[in-house]
Amino acid sequence: MHTLTKSSLALALSAFFSLPALAAQVPDNVQLADKQELVRGNGDEVPTLDPTMSSDTASSRVISDMFEGLVTEDLHGNIIPALAKSWDISDDGKQYTFHLRDAKWSNGDAITANDFVFALQRIVDAKTGAPYSWYVSMANIVNAAEIIKGDQPLDSLGVKALDDHTLQITLNQPVPYFTKMLAHESTFAIPEKVVKQYKEAWTKPEHIVVSGAYKLSEWVINEKIVLERNKEYWNDKQTVINKVTYLPISDVNAEYNRYRTGEIDITSVVPLELYQSIKKERPNELLTMPSLGTYYYLFNMDKKPFDDARVRKALAYSIDRDVITARILGQGQLPAYTNTPPAVAGFTVPKLEWAEWSQKERNQKAKELLKEAGYDHSHPLKFELEYNTSESHKKLAIVMASMWKKNLGAEVSIANQEWKTFLQTLSTKQFSVARYAWMGDYNEASTFLSYFASEGLNYGGWSNSDYDQALQQASVAKSDKERAELYQKAEQVFANDMPAIPVYFYTRSVLKNTHVGGYSKDNASDRRYTRDLYITK
């Protein structure tokens, strides 16, 4: 974790920072297969391959194979150098100077500091409409928030190219996890010349230019994305896999069947109802790992009666998370009563009053709250619960509707949409209650808490000044202890207002062919780069 605040110490450790980014590490006793090609299940169809426009896991997986940032993650989720070979941090912790390595875009052009300046200005430009512009603001880059609001010009962003190989980023205040944030694709360089020439069409296979280990060879919508090795990649000599194909299969049973026939090497998920049988039949292929992820149901604050906290709390209290995690899911998931998962480094789950109650007590309180809000069995609460197409989401939505009917008399219909349409529904707030999940962009509590900040992605539109203030104070906290206490305060505010229903904390289960090496099980991050993998004989 690069949280140095003294430039002298940063310089003293620059030799460590200058280590090459880890790639495929093949043990000496392993024989590699002649054919180094990989097929990965990817769940949903990828909405975009533009790092600036990415906001979902399916896109992120593919983009992270094609593009690289100043830093990246190793097999265990640690931050390591990527396009930056080293960096210095000013004494006050507010200025980072990144020294870029000699790296090239896939067309042979040099990757320069200006490409990072262009990318970061583009994401905060209101004309771009980037879903992750808030992320740059949360990173506290100078003038990011003001530019997003239209109060400052683009060129006032605290990002400068001192020369082709030196990038300087200035923050409003020290952000101890700033380098962790730079592993997210929204901060990656993009090729200015190509983007300006082809505009929105720049990510088409015939135009796209990339900085990572793989380049786009073919993209057939709803069928496959094929990436081939990028010979211009600065660390290509450490890369083993020559070709990776991503298959968008939202039906988990169909994905499993294609895995069984040998068509897929790594699945995106495992069918819930088959988990126990798969565990017995394929123990060497099933991987269940910790994960930085929370499964929610989001409320739209603009839709009545979900502008009423009593209704939101009633729905949150009256679901039995123990039944959901143990009987419905059964893959080691944990019941969620907070926003932030316990797997997050340095985070202690706060003691919340409602989380300590028995389920019977929660159900009783839920009925009381709903009656106060004007709903009971004679005047039932009615609404539609929306989810993106997936058997597991559907199964859980049916269970939720059943629990709400039994415990509160609520009449809930469920409706599904394909992923791209569902994202549009969320962003335009055309929903009442919707399934959602947040996978951490970096291993720190702020990646979960900042989502619900007034200026966060926050599809439900919740806003609370006490919550915002706690996060703001946490970002300038003088110690880890003080920061942890402020994160707990934010969680208390969240619980008091319940802008979303935390349901469970993820584990991540996949099936992996035993011939695939280099896949780490101990990384709570969802990033598993193809550049780290290899196929054995």
Q: What is the pLDDT of residue 58?
A: 92
> 529, 233 in Cβ contact below 8 A?
no
Strand partners, 110: 104
State the Cα–Cα distance between residues 470 and 449, nearest whole angstrom: 10
The pLDDT of 364-385, averaged and rounded, is: 95
The pLDDT of 383-389, averaged and rounded, is: 95
State the Cα–Cα distance between residues 315 and 325, nearest whole angstrom: 17
244, containing H or E segment: strand 243-247
The pLDDT of 118-141, averaged and rounded, is: 95
State the Cα–Cα distance between residues 122 and 212, nearest whole angstrom: 20
Token code pair at residue 474: 């946490």
Compute the mean pLDDT over every residue in the chain, rounded to the nearest whole number.
92
Tokens 């992996």 appear where?
Answer: 512
The pLDDT of 81-100, averaged and rounded, is: 96
Q: Please give the C-alpha separations between residue 262 and each of 4, 39, 229, 240, 257, in angstroms, as whole numbers.
A: 47, 10, 22, 20, 9
Specify the length of the chain in residues: 537
Task: Enumerate long-range contacts of 203-209, CB under 8 Å, 24 or more apart.
Answer: 203/48, 203/49, 203/50, 208/49, 208/66, 209/105, 209/106, 209/107, 209/109
Q: What's the pLDDT tens digit per position in 178-222? A: 999 999 999 999 999 999 999 999 999 999 999 999 999 999 999
> Cα 248 from chain centroid?
18
Go through 165-188 and write b for each residue having 16 or more CB atoms within 10 A of its CB, e for each that does not: bebbbbbbebbbbbbbbbbbbbbb
The pLDDT of 93-108, averaged and rounded, is: 97
User: Residue 477: how many CB atoms within 10 A of its CB?
Assistant: 16
Q: What is the pLDDT of residue 9?
A: 33
161, containing H or E segment: strand 159-163
Q: DSSP per residue over 6-51, as a string?
A: -HHHHHHTHHHHTSPPP-----TTPPBPS--EEEEE-SSPPS---G
State the Cα–Cα distance between residues 424 and 417, nearest whole angstrom: 10
Q: How confident is the model at residue 367 (pLDDT cuts 50, 70, 90)?
A: very high
| Residues 385/388/389/391 CA torsion (nearest 10 deg) | -70
Tokens 């024989």 appear where?
Answer: 31
Is pLDDT of 10 > 50? no
Token code pair at residue 271: 């069918």
> Cα 284 from chain centroid?
27
> 516, 352 in Cβ contact below 8 A?
no
State the Cα–Cα distance between residues 512 and 524, nearest whole angstrom: 17
356, containing H or E segment: helix 353-356
Is pLDDT of 343 > 90? no
Is pLDDT of 23 > 90? no
Q: DSSP per residue over 108-140, as a string?
A: SPBP-HHHHHHHHHHHH-TTT--TTHHHHHHTT
State the Cα–Cα distance between residues 404 and 411, nearest whole angstrom: 8
- HSE of 254, CA atoms in CB hemisphere, 13 A: 11
Is pLDDT of 522 > 80? no
State the Cα–Cα distance between residues 114 and 160, nearest whole angstrom: 8
Q: What's the pLDDT tens digit per position in 269-310? A: 999 889 999 999 999 999 998 789 999 999 999 999 999 999
Residues 6+ apart with CB under 8 A from 345: 443, 444
Q: What is the pLDDT of residue 76?
A: 82
User: Residue 288: how many CB atoms within 10 A of its CB?
Assistant: 16
Q: How confident is the model at residue 11 (pLDDT cuts 50, 70, 90)?
A: very low
Share of the chain above pLDDT 90, in %: 81
Strand partners, 334: 505
Task: Report the helix count and the strand count for the chain, using DSSP H and E.
Answer: 19, 18
Residues 6+ apart with CB under 8 A from 15: none
State the Cα–Cα distance between residues 234 and 345, nearest whole angstrom: 31
> 328, 395 in Cβ contact below 8 A?
yes
State the Cα–Cα distance between residues 500 and 306, nearest whole angstrom: 10
User: Residue 499: how many CB atoms within 10 A of its CB?
Assistant: 24
State the Cα–Cα distance between residues 124 and 204, nearest whole angstrom: 23
Q: What is the pLDDT of residue 1?
A: 31
Is pLDDT of 6 > 80? no
Residues 6+ apart with CB under 8 A from 480: 346
